[in-house]
Amino acid sequence: MQEELSMDQDFIKKLYGILEVNLENEEFGVNELSEAIGISRSQLHRKLKSIERKSASRFIREYRLQKAMEMLRNNAATASEISYSVGFGSPTYFNTCFREFYGYPPGEVKFRKESKLKENDFIEGSIVENNAAPNLKKPIRRNFIAITSLIIVLLAATAYYFYQNSKNKIASDFSVTKTNDKSIAILPFKNLSSNKENQYFADGIMEVILNHLTSIEELKVISRTSMEQYRETNKTIPEIAKELGVSHILQASVQKDNDEIRIISQLIDAKNDTQIWSTDIKKEYKDIFELQSTIAEQISKELNTELSDVERIQIKKKPTNNLEAYNLYLKGVHFNRSGSPNKSVSYLEQAIEKDPEFAFAYSELAVSHMILMSKGKISPNKNVKKTKELAQKAIALDHSIGEPHHVLATMLFRYEWNWKAAEKELLIALKLNPNNPFTHLAYSKFLKSTNRMEESRKHIDKALTLDPVYHGNYFASAEYYYCYGDYEKAFSENKKGLDLKIKFTETNWLNFEIYVAQKKYDKAIVELQKLYKEKESHEIDKIYKKFGINGVYNWLIKFVKNNYNTPYYLAQNYAFIGEHEKALSLLEKSVELRVSILIDINIDPNFKNLRSEPRFKIIIKKMGLDVYYNE
């Protein structure tokens, strides 16, 4: 037994040594550790489960957190700096992991230097530091003493913490209140111009001011997609603020006539429905950037937000010196946000012709291509490279923009299946713009595809916080629960999405699939009929009564819309009716076409009966997903 224990000790020490050398390398994970120690990933996982009762990924994460604790106790650097020093690509994710492991955030370490509760748990739980036996074999008496000691330490730490902070209690409470008050939603700007087509300009001004505010870390800013719900609303300011969970609302009107622009705006304290600041500014069009920056800075000042030097530089930054290019760019943004990315492309290409150094135009054009590919409108095989080049050009021109990193990440994991590189880009995007709900949503999809469901859920929840009345977020949430097998929660989230947008095809379709998964076929047919006109609805009912649910799926095969995503949808239908060979052939075709939704193949309930098929396993391996499901 002692010899076996010594071998285990030696093994863990070797792992520690390898991790120490690669501590700052955020890409050094389970695969790299298993390769360095000379065993397979699954062998490493089993061995650590046997010795430490931990998975390999948890072992690595907790080692990094222990090192972070040492640095924090020694005041080696700030928590944000330390997060990168110990291999976390995102300070936000580091803070989350640290809090979950130690029970409090990194910022409180200085108050708890006497409490080594979790750190000691980690060390004593390790076979290296415990020469007796694994924890599960400890005598009851020793466990009792340990628990008692922990309680004493906790009480002492708590008393120390409150003593240290008692003098600042009132100031601390006030600070919390002010932080909660630093939230804002911007209602869609009204167009006061005589030319109704100038709505694009009002929307563009709103978008820029919104982006300025979003870049301020202290502020909570609601996304534009949520605010579109209130364009023609009759709701009061307090009602809107309550629905969105914000303390302030900005209203504004924009007038553009020839070379003159005018912005009338007011900032409202939503709780009291009182105006706390207003402005009526008239400027020449050439002063538009200064005008947008001034309004953003004034709002941050009214909300008692202190801008960092970086944030101030970002807000004052002039995106282009060419006003014609900027006007074309605003039109491109308008069409992208209003669901017409094909119209956006032309305007953005013209903007780049006017100013070849216009980083935001390259970034927005990359977004247009990304949207068109996701909808199956254009070929991924022909456009992924071009879209990546546009995103990379935007980054090269201005490395402070988060959006092109988001686009680049999407290309890498949705179409090229380069999972490591994609995650790195997503973390950069979130670091540059932590308040972008679409990036949180993209990261949640990435995490779901790579079998990290708990992390995925957190980013969906963050997207819902930043975009609380956007139907797409609720669909993503419902889809998560559907894949997880929690059908009641999936229905609940879908209902919220339908309440926001009654005619949303994806939501109705998901309800149909959930009922099918539950074998509640009568209810499934009712949901399916909502997606079709009266004639097709009667036909569905007739086929169901005569041929059952399989007959309906055969009927659906004939009605799948023809685009680049079609092979995947057909594969789902064929898999359900048991025609596995056809389903597998269509999935292989999806691989050739680089269909974006293929990333869900391993969690899609429609393919549960195909997962043991050799051809299915080859697809999973080709996509590089096999390593995420071995454990």
Of residues 572 and 5, more confidently modeled: 572
Q: Which H or E run includes 389?
A: helix 380-397
**DSSP 3-state assignment of 542?**
helix
The gap between the terminal CA atoms of the chain, to the nearest Å, is: 28
Mean pLDDT of 222-233: 85
Give the Cα-Cα-Cα angle 594, 462, 340 (nearest 5 degrees).
Answer: 50
Q: Count CB atoms within 10 A of the CB of residue 21.
A: 11
Whether pLDDT at 31 is above 80: no
Q: Residue 488 above 90 pLDDT?
A: yes
Helices (H), 182-229: 199-214, 224-227
pLDDT at 504: 66
Q: What are phi and psi of 541, to 5 degrees?
A: -60, -45
Higher pLDDT, 151 or 561: 561
Domains of the chain: 2-138 (1.10.10.60), 182-318 (3.40.50.10070)
Cα–Cα distance for residue pair 117/151, rounded to 1 Å: 9
pLDDT score of 291 more than 70: yes
Report whether pLDDT(172) > 80. no
Using CA of residue 357, residue 362, residue 364, residue 368, what is the dihedral sign?
positive
> Rounded distance, CA 531 to CA 323, Å?
45
Q: Is the pLDDT of residue 621 over 50?
A: yes
When pLDDT is averaged across residues 424-448 and rounded to a whole number, the result is: 93
Give the model's confidence band at 152: pLDDT under 50 very low, under 70 low, under 90 confident, else very high: very low
Task: Report the distance separating Cα 320 and Cα 93, nearest Å.
Answer: 34
Mean pLDDT of 405-432: 96
Q: Name the pLDDT band for 90 (thresholds 50, 70, 90).
A: low
- Name the band, by pLDDT with cuts 50, 70 and 90, for residue 536: very high
Question: What is the spatial distance between Cα 356 and Cα 394, in angstroms, rounded to a whole number?
Answer: 10
**Residues 543-565: what's their mean pLDDT?**
91
pLDDT computed for residue 579 by the predictor = 96
Element of type H or E holding 171? helix 169-181
Q: Which of 14-28, 105-119, 303-317, 373-387 has the highest mean pLDDT?
A: 373-387
Among 120-124, 343-347, 479-483, the minimum mean pLDDT is found in 120-124
Instruction: Report d(CA 417, CA 385) in Å as an integer.
Output: 14
Check residue 408 and give its pLDDT. 97
User: Which residue in the block uniquely carries the two structure tokens 């659906």?
Assistant: 556
In the chain, % of residues over pLDDT 90: 44
Higher pLDDT: 604 or 504? It is 604
According to the model, what pLDDT value does residue 121 have?
A: 42
Is pLDDT larger for residue 439 or for residue 157?
Answer: 439
Please report the pLDDT score of residue 148 as a whole number: 46
Residue 136 has pLDDT above 70, yes or no: no
The band of 108, judged by pLDDT with boundaries at 50, 70 and 90, is confident
Beta bridge partners of residue 206, listed in sequence order: none
pTM (two decimals): 0.68
Please state, in angstroms and rounded to a whole number, the distance separating the CA atoms of residues 22 and 136.
Answer: 31
The tokens describing 331, both together, are 């039109």
Within 8 A by CB and 6+ apart from 444, the residues are 456, 457, 458, 459, 460, 463, 476, 480
Of residues 422 and 68, which shows the higher confidence score? Answer: 422
Residue where the block lists tokens 């000379």: 38
Instruction: Check pLDDT > 80 for residue 276.
Output: yes
- Distance between CA 567 and CA 585 in Å, rounded? 9
Q: Flag whether pLDDT at 162 surpasses 50.
A: no
Cα separation, 503 vs 336, whole angstroms = 20
Cβ-based neighbour number of residue 105 at 10 Å: 13
Give the residues across from 184 on adjacent strands: 221, 248
Amino acid identity of residue 557, one-letter, is I
How many Å apart are CA 345 and CA 350, to the nearest integer?
9
- Percent of the chain past pLDDT 70, that is, above it, reads 86
- Whether residue 515 is predicted with pLDDT greater than 90 in this model: the reply is yes
List Cβ neighbours of 321 (8 Å cut-off, separation of 6 or more): 355
Question: Could you tell me which residue, 169 or 119, shows the higher pLDDT?
Answer: 119
User: What is the 8-class DSSP label of residue 230?
Assistant: G
Please tell me the distance from the alpha carbon of residue 93 to that of residue 444, in angstroms, as a whole number.
13
The segment with the largest mean pLDDT, out of 49-63, 66-80, 211-225, 485-499, is 485-499
Tens of pLDDT, residues 583-599: 999 999 999 999 999 99
The encoded tokens of residue 441 equal 């949503």
Q: What is the pLDDT of residue 428?
A: 95
Task: Name the pLDDT band for 89 (thresholds 50, 70, 90).
Answer: low
pLDDT at site 91: 65
| Contact by Cβ (8 Å): 392, 408 | yes
Least confident of 89-93, 118-122, 540-544: 118-122
What are the tens digits of pLDDT across the range 570-580?
A: 999 999 999 99
Q: Which tens digits make up the pLDDT trace of 116-134?
A: 444 444 433 333 333 333 3
Q: Are strands 248-257 and 260-269 parallel, antiparallel or unpaired?
A: antiparallel
- Please report the pLDDT score of residue 92 as a whole number: 59
pLDDT at 84 over 90: no
